[in-house]
């Protein structure tokens, strides 16, 4: 069996970095007699890196305490912001929404739109931001549906009724994508 290490979308590491990280994660999992690398947790990996001054993963860490603390606090602040939901009430419908979401906005410093975190309330007031945020989430769902299609196809043993139901949901979702792309707020 061969193992390929693939860079996750948006990962802040190069393909070569991902190979180094993947190999070391496998080594740490093996050294701890774990059946699968997915059983690793961050504490176990960090302790292995921290204990070995020659660990290849050390170069990816910020060992300056002041700088590392600031990064930790910024990450914690992001987690804190993302843990709040705003409940919007529209007629009789109520839905929890995040305080911020990702959308394309114009920039004073760069030509064209730039992807930024914006307040959900702002997106609700500006159709182009709203369309960008919803479009981003629809593309995410489309990617997840593609993964499900791959899993279902690879399994090959599911009852035909389940396959047919999934195909119908996929067709319905494809229609939603087309309808949404046809709505182009200016």
Parallel, antiparallel or unpaired: strands 85-90 and 93-98: antiparallel
- Which tokens go with 13? 């590491």
Tell me which residue range forms the domain holding 122: 99-182
Evaluate whether residue 160 is within a structural domain.
Answer: yes
Distance separating alpha carbons of residues 6 and 14, to the nearest angstrom:
10
Select the more confidently predicted residue: 184 or 117: 117
Mean pLDDT, range 171-180, rounded to an integer: 85
Q: How much of the chain exceeds pLDDT 70, in percent?
A: 90
**Residues 55 and 124 both lie in one domain:** no
pLDDT above 90: residue 109: no
User: How many domains does one find in the chain?
Assistant: 2
pLDDT of residue 33: 92
Q: What is the mean pLDDT of the chain?
A: 83
Select the more confidently predicted residue: 162 or 86: 162
**Residues 104 and 177 both lie in one domain:** yes
pLDDT above 90: residue 69: yes
pLDDT of residue 185: 63
pLDDT above 80: residue 126: no
Evaluate whether residue 84 is within a structural domain.
Answer: no
Select the more confidently predicted residue: 62 or 128: 62
**Residues 103 and 56 both lie in one domain:** no
Distance separating alpha carbons of residues 26 and 35, to the nearest angstrom:
10
Range of weakest confidence among 19-33, 115-129, 151-165 = 115-129
**Residues 171 and 116 both lie in one domain:** yes
pLDDT above 80: residue 165: yes
Mean pLDDT, range 132-151, rounded to an integer: 85
pLDDT above 80: residue 139: yes
pLDDT of residue 161: 86
**Residues 103 and 176 both lie in one domain:** yes
pLDDT above 90: residue 102: no
Evaluate whether residue 3 is within a structural domain.
Answer: no
Cβ burial, residue 76 (10 Å; 0-12/13-18/19+): exposed
pLDDT of residue 47: 95
pLDDT band at 39 (very low <50, low <70, confident <90, very high): confident
Cβ burial, residue 34 (10 Å; 0-12/13-18/19+): middle
CB atoms within 10 A of CB 164: 10
Evaluate whether residue 109 is within a structural domain.
Answer: yes
Evaluate whether residue 6 is within a structural domain.
Answer: no
């Amino acid at each position: 069996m061969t193992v390929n290490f693939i860079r996750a979308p948006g990962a802040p590491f190069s393909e070569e970095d991902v190979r180094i990280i993947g190999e070391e994660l496998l080594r740490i999992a093996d050294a701890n007699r774990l059946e699968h690398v997915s059983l690793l947790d961050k504490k176990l990996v960090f302790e292995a890196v921290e204990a070995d001054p020659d660990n290849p993963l050390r170069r990816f860490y910020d060992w300056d305490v002041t700088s590392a603390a600031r990064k930790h606090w910024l990450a914690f602040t992001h987690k804190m912001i993302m843990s709040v939901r705003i409940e919007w009430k529209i007629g009789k419908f109520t839905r929890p929404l995040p305080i911020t979401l990702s959308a394309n906005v114009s920039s004073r410093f760069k030509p064209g739109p730039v992807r930024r975190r914006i307040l959900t309330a702002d997106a609700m007031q500006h159709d182009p931001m709203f369309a960008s945020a919803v479009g981003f989430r629809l593309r995410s769902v489309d990617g997840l549906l593609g993964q499900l299609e791959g899993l279902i196809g690879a399994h090959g043993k599911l009852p035909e009724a389940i396959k047919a139901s999934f195909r119908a949901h996929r067709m319905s979702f494809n229609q939603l994508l087309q309808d949404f792309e046809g709505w182009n707020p200016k």
